[in-house]
Each structure stands twice: as structure tokens, then as C-alpha cells.
Amino acid sequence: MAAARWVVVVAVAVTAAVALDNGVARTPPMGWLHWERFLCGTDCAAEPDRCVSERLFAEMADVMVAEGWKEAGYEFVCIDDCWMAPTRDEQGRLRADPRRFPSGIRALADYGLKLGIYSDVGNRTCAGFPGSYGHYELDAQTFASWGVDLLKFDGCNVGSLGLLAEGYRNMSLALNKTGRPIVYSCEWPFYLRPVQQPNYTEIKQYCNQWRNFYDVYDSWNSIKSIVEWTALHQDSIVKIAGPGGWNDPDMATLRGIFLFLSQLVIGNFGLSWEQAVTQMAMWAIMAAPLFMSNDLRHMKPEAKWLLQNREVIAINQDPLGKQGYRITKDKNFELWERPLSNRAYAVAVLNQQEIGGPQNFTFSLTFLGNGLACNPACCIQQVLPSSVDWGVHNWLSSLSVEVNPTGTVLLKVVPL
């Protein structure tokens, strides 16, 4: 299929917003998060392997070290909602549930990986546990004293949009005041969007990453909805992302495969192989935080290969820190690009068709990088779904890319 009808062409502004200056998240954070796979399981007697407990996080940390996840870049183990005791202690401090976390949070922070934890801007978390409203400085000090490295801060149970914004600002200031570098992951724009357009310039001044969309689910509909939402809003969100501050498609899951705030649900149950490849490829193009939400203790080799793919991770973690964007949509095909360091580009060809067999999409290399990506010549390497050297091409070349239904071919274009 020739790319004759260029439906969307985007011009991305190069002006960057000022980022939160706390020295962390210079590239999109990577790690593992419990929520999408394990939810709010608290019955350790009935379901010991699925209970939100210190055992679960210690076992995941053990696997991350032993099976190459930490070496690949996944450095955070993140506790989501439901870790807390039902009430604060006598000094007003948050405390872990003593039955499920008998050793306390500090023990997990000292376990060998960076630790992420969860709280809420309101007076209750989304699952009904104590929130941080009225306790921002105390909770920030508590997290710092435990050795926490990341805070996911939700937005449930707050009385007004004014209190929501005030709470996110106050927690950011409180975390910085502790003197400990803590990645601050906000849900701020997600809760604003139903009522008003988020001010991303302001949000980036307070947060290291921010969630824009609904929870990611272990389904193709969820993945393609996130990709489409990102494309429709790219004019307002792409220019904001960069070192120190990232758009989070959802802090939830690539089950079985990858991402957290943009949770990778690869390695779970709901995605075909082609769809898992699409999530990994598109999260790399979108410079999304990579947080897996899966059971690392029981991973299929192909899911592990995909999530640990060093070439894809290198694109996601590229130090230039620019987010990719859709440059055209032609019937069922989408063409995306992401500027990389050293004048290289990552390119994704996504086939949204859900029936039939593989189809070809043909496009001119002059469409990439405003005509500069392959000028006068370039080397092209296919990264996904497998690694293939496509050789040397020139500025006037056209590429014909065969893509399976719901699949994506990810390329890297390096100028000569």
C-alpha cells in the first residue's frame, strides 16, 4: 500500500518547558509495578503468591537481579496502593500493614533495588487507605527516612481541582525539602482533563512524570486507545517531554512485557505477540517510562526477550530525550518517528488492521526528519519484531515495510 494520502503531518515545537530540578529521571524511569497484575490482593493466607506483601516485592527483586532485568535497566521495584495499615500511627505517620510487611518498608528499600511507593493527594487512596492530605511534609519525610526512591502520587478523594493542584505542588516541595532525590510521578493531568486543559508547563515544574490516560489493561483495545490518544494530543504533550519530565501513557502496565506509569503488560494474558511488539515499540517511540506489571517469576522466554531487548531500550533511553510523534496516518497504517542523539531517528510503522494477513506500507525517506534523516544517505536497522540489517539507502529511496495485523516494525535510521 503506497502512502499516497498523508492525513496527518505534525510540526513539533523545539521549545522545552523548564523541568523539575531534582536531578532524577534524566531518561524515562524503568522498573516493575504491582498494580495491573496483582491489584489490591490482601489475603495472604488464601493467596500467598498474589498478596501485596513484602514477600511479593522481595521475590520480584530477586528475579530482577538474577535474570538480567536490573542489568537491562529496570531499576525500580514499585509498591502501588494497598500497602498501608488502615490507620496512621500515634505520631500521625503512615505505616505499612504489619501482617503483610512485618519487616517494614525500610527493609525493602535496603533490599538491593530502588524502591517506589504509593500515596494519594486526597484524604484516602483510591482503595480507601489513608491519604496524604494535610500530611504532605510528614509523609515526604517518612518516605525519605525509609529510603524511598520514587513516589507515585494518585489523585483520588480530593475535594476540588484547587486542592488537587495545591496538593501536587505541596508534595513536590516537601519531597525536595527532604534533600533525598525522589522521582515524583503525578496523576495530575489525568484528573484535570475531564474539566479543564492541563497546564503542562506548570506540571513539568513540579513532577518528573505525569499520567495522561486511563489505566492500561491487558488488552489490545487498551493499547491502541493509548496510542491514538497520544497522537491526537501530540501538539500539546510532545514538546513538554524531556530529561527530568516525561509523559506517562499510564503508570500501569505492559503485562508480561513492559511499562509502569506507562505500565507494560507484556508477559501477561491479553496481547498477541504482534500486539506485545507494538506496545514495546510504541512506548520506546513515545519516550514513556517503562514499568512492567507482570509476574516475573513465570515469564515466557519470548516476553523476556522483548522486554529486555537492548536495542529497543536504547531507543527509549536515548539521552536526547525527545518524544516521538505520528507523522502520518494512511487508512490502517501509521508512521511515527522519534529524533535520537547523533542525528539518528527511530521510526515505527504500525498496522492497525485486525483481520487478514501481512500488508506492505511504502513511504519515501524524504518524509523522515523533515527530509534530513537520510540526507544524503543513511544506514537502516530493523529493531523489531527482529533485528535485521537493511543496509545503506539514500535520500530519494523509498521503503516498503511488511507489517502483520496489529503489529509494528521498529526501525533505526542512522545518517552517513
As a whole number of angstroms, the distance between CA 123 and CA 131 comes to 4
**Residue 253 near residue 263, CB atoms below 8 Å:** yes
**Residue 182 near residue 24, CB atoms below 8 Å:** yes
**Residue 387 near residue 381, CB atoms below 8 Å:** yes
Altogether, the residues listed in the chain come to a count of: 416
Q: What is the DSSP letter of 393?
A: E
Using CA atoms of 218, 220, 223, 224 in order, give the dihedral in degrees to the nearest 10: -160
Contacts of 210 (CB under 8 A, 6+ apart): 185, 186, 187, 188, 189, 190, 198, 200, 203, 204, 245, 246, 247, 248
Strands (E), 103-227: 114-120, 150-154, 183-186, 209-211
As a whole number of angstroms, the distance between CA 142 and CA 87 comes to 15
**Residue 276 near residue 257, CB atoms below 8 Å:** yes
H or E element at residue 405: none
Q: Which of 154, 248, 250, 318 is catalytic?
A: 154
**Residue 35 near residue 253, CB atoms below 8 Å:** yes
Q: Which residues of 31-60 are buried (b: 16+ CB within 10 A; e: fewer)?
A: bbbbbbbbebbbebeeeeebbbbbebbbeb
Indicate if 215 belongs to the active site. yes
**Residue 101 near residue 95, CB atoms below 8 Å:** no
Indicate if 89 belongs to the active site. no
Nearest to 176 by CA among 288, 369, 23: 23
Positions marked catalytic: 154, 215
